[in-house]
Amino acid sequence: MRRMDAGQLWGPVTGRSRRRWAVLIALVAVALAGCSGGGNTPTPINQAANENGSGGTQAADPGGSGGKASAPVVPPAQLAVLPANGARGISPTAPITVRAAAGTLTAVSVRTPAGKQVQGTLSADHTQWTSKEVLGYSKTYAVTATATNPAGQPTKKSSTFSTVTPVTFTMPYLFPGPDLKSVGIGQPITVHFDEAIQDKATAEKALKVTASPPTVGAWYWFDSQNVHWRPKGYWKPGTHVTVSAKVYGVNVGGGIYGQQDASSSFTIGPSRIFTINDNTHSGVVKVNGKTVRTIKVSMGRGGKITVNGKTIYFTTYSGPHVVQEKYAVKKMSSASYGLPVDDPLGYEEDIPLAVRISASGEFVHAASWSVAQQGVRNVSHGCVNISPANADWFYHNFTYGDIVDIKNTGASLPRSDKYGDWMVPWSEWLAGSALR
């Protein structure tokens, strides 16, 4: 084949050939421009906008980081405090809580104006602080807290609140109290408030009895200041009992708040019951169901007299009595119930080995002067007379909460007597609760 040169390939340079060369040169220029861009990817739209028509091929760097991406923004930690800032009338038992979100707590302080620090506990993840002590009445508290986000940036918050100012306080007095560790099977639990309670239901909710083994029982309000708890039947010997009155911070009505909490624990001792039958003028003592002693007695002579307009009865009450007090020697006077000492039936004497069994003035005690009548007839003003030997045994073996159950005297122990609890039928007792 004959070799051709360029002129031969394209032919003679004519007007038409010049146009062909121009097209070829333009195509080559476009191809070269594509190669100089390092590839065939088009420039992004936003890149062109950022270049502001400068013709450059690199996007602008608004952060001035030399082309590197900006670090993500870390939100600040958030703090929430309860009670809220400015809150008033807060119960002193309401917990203070400080919570952190999007971070962790690094400092919490709760102080009184006097500078006393309130103690608290921090959750394991350091996101919640909770006070662990009760506050005071009529006090203002200042809360300051700091939380830090993951970037180490702190957030701080401060607030103040104040606790309630009561109209007055009431104190609950418990019996059995903390000093009495063992009582008998008939002992009721009593709570005496030194102010009249307007909201009995709220007060009763603050009272709790725990018994082991579990024991069925209930509260009964005798009046606005006295509420008792007793089992349906006598306590089981060996039962462990705890009673608490958590009234601090509780409004029991009319702006009256509990002054402080109270509690006690005790154990129920052996079953000791002295059952007296007025028909036979004698009684039988049983301990844990076993007869251990028979005792002759002389009780109230019966009848009545009127002195200065007051009627005085001389009959011993029937019904379950609860041992309440013990005296090695007790001064007794008929004047205590309205009968003058100088009356023919009056008296004032020191009585040995006296065990109180009612608030009405009934005692089981030694009576050497009536031994001949004991087991035969009644000659006392209402007490249970027994011989000195029997009185010594009874005094040293019976204790608080033990039962003296008197029968057939013709008069019943008033339920309003200090421990007349066992005179109230169970169905009626249940109705005496403020929560029924």
Q: Check whether 311 has a pLDDT greater than 50.
A: yes
Give the per-residue pLDDT at 44.
34
Query: Per-residue pLDDT tens for 214-272?
Result: 999 999 999 999 999 999 999 999 999 999 999 999 999 999 999 999 999 999 999 99
Structural domains of the chain sorted by starting position, each given as residue range(s) with its CATH number in brackets: 78-162 (2.60.40.3780), 168-269 (2.60.40.3710), 272-419 (2.40.440.10)
Query: Per-residue pLDDT tens for 392-435?
Result: 999 999 999 999 999 999 999 999 999 999 999 999 999 999 99
Are 164 and 138 spatial neighbours (Cβ–Cβ below 8 Å)?
yes
Averaged pLDDT, 358-387: 98
Which amino acid is residue 162, in one-letter code? S
Averaged pLDDT, 125-131: 98
Q: Check whether 309 has a pLDDT greater than 50.
A: yes
Segment among 8-17, 309-318, 332-341, 367-376 with least mean pLDDT: 8-17
* Backbone torsion region of residue 18, taken as left when φ is above 0, otherwise alpha when ψ lies between -120 and 50, otherwise beta: alpha
How many Å apart are CA 265 and CA 88, to the nearest integer? Answer: 37
Q: Check whether 362 has a pLDDT greater than 80.
A: yes
Residue 291 φ/ψ, nearest 5 degrees: -70, 125
Give the per-residue pLDDT at 32.
33
**Token pair for 359:** 């608030």
Annotated catalytic residue within 228, 321, 381, 383 = 383
Are 320 and 423 spatial neighbours (Cβ–Cβ below 8 Å)?
yes
Averaged pLDDT, 133-150: 97
Q: Can 35 be counted among the known catalytic residues?
A: no
Could you give the percent of the chain with pLDDT greater than 70? 84
Q: Check whether 308 has a pLDDT greater than 80.
A: yes
Averaged pLDDT, 9-21: 41
**Token pair for 212:** 């082991």
Spell out where 24-132 has E strands. 78-82, 97-101, 104-111, 120-122, 128-131
Which amino acid is residue 305, in one-letter code? I
Q: Can 281 be counted among the known catalytic residues?
A: no
Give the per-residue pLDDT at 79.
98
Query: Per-residue pLDDT tens for 35-72?
Result: 344 443 332 323 333 333 333 334 444 444 455 667 78
Query: Per-residue pLDDT tens for 80-101?
Result: 999 999 999 999 999 999 999 9
Tell me how many degrees the CA angle 320-203-93 measures, rounded to the nearest 5: 140
Q: Check whether 30 has a pLDDT greater than 50.
A: no
Give residue 131's pLDDT band: very low, low, confident or very high (50, 70, 90).
very high
Could you give the percent of the chain with pLDDT greater than 90? 83
**Token pair for 53:** 């028509």
Average pLDDT, rounded, for the chain: 88
Are 147 and 103 spatial neighbours (Cβ–Cβ below 8 Å)?
yes
Q: Check whether 18 has a pLDDT greater than 80.
A: no
Annotated catalytic residue within 228, 321, 365, 381 = 365
Query: Per-residue pLDDT tens for 91-127?
Result: 999 999 999 999 999 999 999 888 999 999 999 999 9
How many Å apart are CA 193 and CA 169, to the nearest integer? Answer: 10
Give the per-residue pLDDT at 6.
38
Give the per-residue pLDDT at 70.
74
Give the per-residue pLDDT at 68.
61
Cα distances from 214 to residues 105, 152, 238, 242, in angstroms, run 44, 55, 12, 11
Strands 78-82 and 120-122: unpaired
Q: Is the pTM of this model over 0.85?
A: no
Q: Check whether 177 has a pLDDT greater than 90.
A: yes
